[in-house]
Amino acid sequence: MSSPQPLQGVTEPSFARYREIIPVLTDSTHKGQGGRVCVLGGSSEYTGAPYFSGMSALRLGADLCHIICAEDASTAIKSYSPDLIVHPLIRTRTIEQLELMTADDDKSRAATKAVVDKIHAKAKDELNGILERVHVLVIGPGLSRDATMQRVAKYAIQKARSLFMPVVIDADGLFLIQNEPELIQGYSRAVLTPNLVEFARLCKEKKINAEEQAGEQPAAQRLSHAFGGVVVVQKGRHDIISSGTTVHAVTNTGGLKRSGGQGDLLTGMIATSLAWIVVARRSNQAGAGGEDSQAKNHVHFLAACYGACTFTRRCSQLAFEKHGRAVQSSDILAEIGPMFAGYVEQARPIAPWSEAIYG
| Residue 161 marked as a ligand binder | no
- 255 marked among binding-site residues: yes
> Distance between CA 93 and CA 152 in Å, rounded?
14
- Which pairs count as long-range contacts for 85-93, CB under 8 Å and 24+ apart, including other chains? 87/126, 87/130, 89/122, 89/123, 89/126, 89/127, 90/123, 90/148, 90/149, 90/152, 91/119, 91/123, 91/148, 92/43, 92/44, 92/146, 92/148, 92/149, 93/44
State yes or no: 259 annotated in a binding site.
Answer: yes
215 labeled part of a ligand binding site: no
> Is residue 39 marked as binding?
no
Residue 5 marked as a ligand binder: no
Contact predicate 277/37, CB 8 Å:
no
Binding residue per annotation — 258? yes
Q: Does the annotation flag 180 for ligand binding?
A: no
308 annotated ligand binder: no
Q: Judge contact between 61 and 34, C-beta under 8 A.
A: yes
61 is in an annotated binding site: no
196 is in an annotated binding site: yes
Measured CA angle at 247 (ends 213, 354), to 5 deg:
115
**Where is 178: in which H helix or E strand?**
helix 172-179
**289 known member of a binding site:** no
Does the annotation place 9 within a ligand binding site? no
Q: Is 124 annotated as a binding residue?
A: no
294 is in an annotated binding site: no
CA dihedral 299→302→304→308, nearest 10 degrees, is -160
φ, ψ of residue 239 to 5 degrees: the values are: -85, 125
User: What angle (nearest 5°) sits at the alpha carbon of residue 70, between those of residues 65 and 74?
Assistant: 60
Q: Say how far apart CA 47 and CA 143 lie, in whole Å.
A: 9
Q: Tell whether residue 142 is among the known ligand binding residues.
A: yes
Q: Is 117 assigned to a binding site?
A: no
Q: Is 261 annotated as a binding residue?
A: yes
For residue 198, say whether it is annotated as part of any ligand binding site.
Answer: yes
Is 340 annotated in some ligand binding site? Answer: no
**104 annotated as a binding-site residue:** no
Q: Do the Cβ atoms of 295 and 164 come closer than 8 Å? A: yes
Instruction: Find out whether 281 is annotated in a ligand binding site.
Output: no
For residue 46, which phi and psi values (nearest 5 degrees)?
Answer: -130, 100
Instruction: Return binding residues for (6S)-NADPHX.
Output: 142, 195-201, 264
Instruction: Return binding residues.
Output: 142, 195-201, 235-239, 254-264
Instruction: Return binding residues for ATP.
Output: 235-239, 254-263
